[in-house]
Structure 1
């Protein structure tokens, strides 16, 4: 079991993998400066110079460049850590944290020495809607911070971590890396990664840290690719043993059914018809023995 440490002495590093969202990414310098517990380091892991604003320079941030894809980019960040952190936190570029976010992360890991991975609470998650604009997200966070609630380190049972806001004990991560066979947006890579750590400790959700996930639509995979991944990736994770058949089949059925029902009257921000095409291409590849997550690279 990991020795108990004083939360204020714990080092929390931030890694943000980003593609095509330079405005959202650049805001993270300001997010970090607002934190009551300063990060030990901040790494932006990008695939192209167009992923950051022209001439971007922030003394708090180190910019890394590597292959495109959530798993590749997160691994690039993991491998580049230099501050010997106790905890590494992965945030989406469009996640807006409360000012005590890192303090809460340190507190929950200090309170539970057997905890190896966790995700926090979301005041709003724009992934399920047209998105939450930055002004609204900021207002929600300012209201929450003004209330200044006590940090609640209670743990709640969870299937795995949620990629927009997840933190891991660095000593437990060891040589485990995100699966680069899940390319690009790498749907469900967060669940896969956290479930591979369960043999080393607990993976649960917590109230200890809070933010808003804007759910910005730019920079996401086209509908056909995501639709293919909605079938291919859960089946691949069944084979790895990081997703149960029951969970995978429920996940696939829910998403495939939603795509087909909503394709007749799709949300303006979702390419439902593209997702349906991707779903059926995956089914065809399954029947012909050609189903692999990386086949989205040919789409």
Structure 2
């Protein structure tokens, strides 16, 4: 096979987890097809590991997932054909970047894709890098499956989402979703559907560790669990039925699990945030940006 001439950039927005970033970069160093650009979007030197390689680009600015990802897009404009956003605690298969480039090259009608997540501990206590690496290495020893579309989707999963750069154009993440920008991946990817297909594919794989350090208080997430879906419904980037299902599930989980909360989840804080948001909905003050005041 003739090597692809397409340029691939990996963008990682991170805050307060330099050791996690180091682990992510170690995983990227093992790729069969290296990234042409690795860019870290950070808030300051404290977010960056000490032993950073010279080829990794670092840009600094204000805190917030959407703002940090937007700075990455601005910095990468005209420098990449494909851009993949990895969470800093995502451990990719060593074939991941090779797989996504080849799949994009072979499917020009696909503008965005999310890969097969071998294990996702975002709802658990968080997986160590060592255990994630064991899962990935065991997966990589098996014959690789034929790359295919598993299903077409309305939006992509933010921990591992890859885009065709020319489809992104001047689209940017919505900075009205502050801090961790809950559902920013849904909003951003859904707005690109007009340019082509969004798919879930087995062309690349990895593990999402779900690291719990540097996360926000439960009341903020609880508020966002109500405010953000309703905001996206008004924007037209989320179906009303999906928003209501998402809110209902989170409300039920938060209230039921307050009786036996997980050690890594502030369930009481989430419940408080849920009801604060409903109060603001009734009074007409509901806004995703209110969490900056909490």
Same fold (TM over 0.5): yes
Normalising by structure 1, report the TM-score.
Answer: 0.95
Unaligned runs of 5+ in 2: none
8 Å contact from structure 2 (residues 154, 193) kept in 1: no
8 Å contact from structure 2 (residues 43, 63) kept in 1: yes
Instruction: Check if 1:166 corresponds to 2:161.
Output: yes
Normalising by structure 2, report the TM-score.
Answer: 0.96
Q: Please state how far the C-alpha of 1:227 moved relative to its aligned partner.
A: 0.3
Instruction: Check if 1:99 corresponds to 2:94.
Output: yes
Between the aligned partners of 1:283 and 1:56, the Cα distance in structure 2 is: 46
Of the three residues 246, 259, 265, the one matched with 2:260 is 265
- What does residue 33 of structure 1 align with? 29
Q: Please state how far the C-alpha of 1:255 moved relative to its aligned partner.
A: 0.5
Of the three residues 226, 235, 242, the one matched with 2:230 is 235
8 Å contact from structure 2 (residues 152, 197) kept in 1: no
Say which SS state the counterpart of residue 212 (structure 1) adopts.
strand
8 Å contact from structure 2 (residues 24, 89) kept in 1: no
- What does residue 283 of structure 1 align with? 278
Say which SS state the counterpart of residue 38 (structure 2) adopts.
strand
Unaligned runs of 5+ in 1: none
Instruction: Check if 1:120 corresponds to 2:132.
Output: no
- What does residue 21 of structure 1 align with? 17
What is the Cα-based RMSD across aligned positions, in Å? 1.5
Map Cα deviations across residues 68-102 of structure 1 (whole Å, 9 max, x no partner): 01100000101111662110000000000110100
Map Cα deviations across residues 162-203 of structure 1 (whole Å, 9 max, x no partner): 000000000000000000000001110001000000011111
Say which SS state the counterpart of residue 128 (structure 1) adopts.
coil
Map Cα deviations across residues 129-153 of structure 1 (whole Å, 9 max, x no partner): 1111111101111111121414413
8 Å contact from structure 1 (residues 98, 145) kept in 2: yes
Q: 1:86 to 1:155 in 2, by over 3 A?
A: farther
- What does residue 51 of structure 1 align with? 47
Deviates more, 1:186-195 or 1:6-15: 6-15
Aligned length: 294
Between the aligned partners of 1:57 and 1:187, the Cα distance in structure 2 is: 29
Map Cα deviations across residues 8-43 of structure 1 (whole Å, 9 max, x no partner): 222110000001111011223322221111111000
Say which SS state the counterpart of residue 147 (structure 1) adopts.
coil
Say which SS state the counterpart of residue 259 (structure 2) adopts.
coil
Map Cα deviations across residues 38-71 of structure 1 (whole Å, 9 max, x no partner): 1110000011222123x34312211110110110
Runs (4 or more) in structure 1 with deviation over 3 Å come to none
Say which SS state the counterpart of residue 200 (structure 2) adopts.
strand
